[in-house]
């Protein structure tokens, strides 16, 4: 079984590879050659502060190549009030100040575990690539302006993903959090 780190994945996975793989997977799903189960959330009251412990799991499988993926997240979630509004915060509560998310890949031919890796880099790119794939089919061919709602970690991957499918010349960013917006 291959065990990869976020750094290793970041070194070889690029947005064009991800967009093409997702397009193939979505076409397979439309043809009945792929399946997924919607995410399941298990919530427990947090043991140390107001909030919850959230365990999420989701699976998907595809015929070509014959692979099944399992993604799990083990999160501590809190809500904080800032500037008159509540925001959800995923707390990096694992040792070393980390979040915990894992992806495991299995052979759908013989059940063999193929790979295991953190979900951070892959998830960020998957979300942005899904958005870009939607824009590929829904946005005008000559679209050159991008509006990004939010300026957090996920938003940073959307700009290069959209630039991969359209000739983006101008980006507008909206974020209610001035610090995030300025950093973006």
Looking at every residue in the chain, the average pLDDT score rounds to 93
Residue 107 confidence class, pLDDT cut points 50, 70, 90: very high
As given in the structure block, the two tokens for residue 162 are 């959209």
* Per-residue CA distances from 173 to 26, 44, 148, 158 (Å): 29, 35, 5, 11
* Percentage, residues of the chain above pLDDT 90: 78
Which residues on adjacent β-strands are paired with residue 105?
69, 115
Contacts of 11 (CB under 8 A, 6+ apart): none
pLDDT in tens, 113-151: 999 999 999 999 999 999 999 999 999 999 999 999 999
d(C-alpha 76, C-alpha 138), whole Å: 36
As given in the structure block, the two tokens for residue 164 are 């991969």
């Amino acid at each position: 079984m291959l065990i990869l780190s976020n750094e290793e994945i970041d070194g070889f996975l690029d947005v064009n590879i991800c967009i093409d793989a997702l397009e193939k997977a979505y076409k397979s799903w439309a043809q009945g050659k792929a399946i997924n189960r919607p995410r399941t959330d298990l919530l427990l009251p947090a043991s140390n502060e107001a909030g919850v412990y959230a365990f999420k799991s989701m699976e998907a499988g595809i015929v070509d190549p014959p692979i099944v993926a399992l993604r799990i997240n083990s999160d501590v979630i809190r809500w904080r009030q800032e500037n008159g509004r509540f925001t959800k915060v995923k707390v990096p509560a694992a040792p070393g100040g980390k979040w915990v998310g894992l992806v495991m890949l299995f052979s759908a031919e013989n059940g063999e575990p193929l790979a295991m890796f953190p979900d951070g880099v892959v998830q960020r790119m998957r979300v942005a690539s899904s958005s870009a794939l939607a824009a590929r089919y829904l946005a005008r061919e000559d679209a050159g302006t991008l509006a990004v709602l939010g300026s957090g970690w996920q938003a940073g991957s959307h700009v290069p993903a959209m630039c991969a499918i359209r000739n983006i010349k101008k980006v507008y960013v909206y974020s209610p959090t001035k610090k995030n917006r300025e950093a973006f």
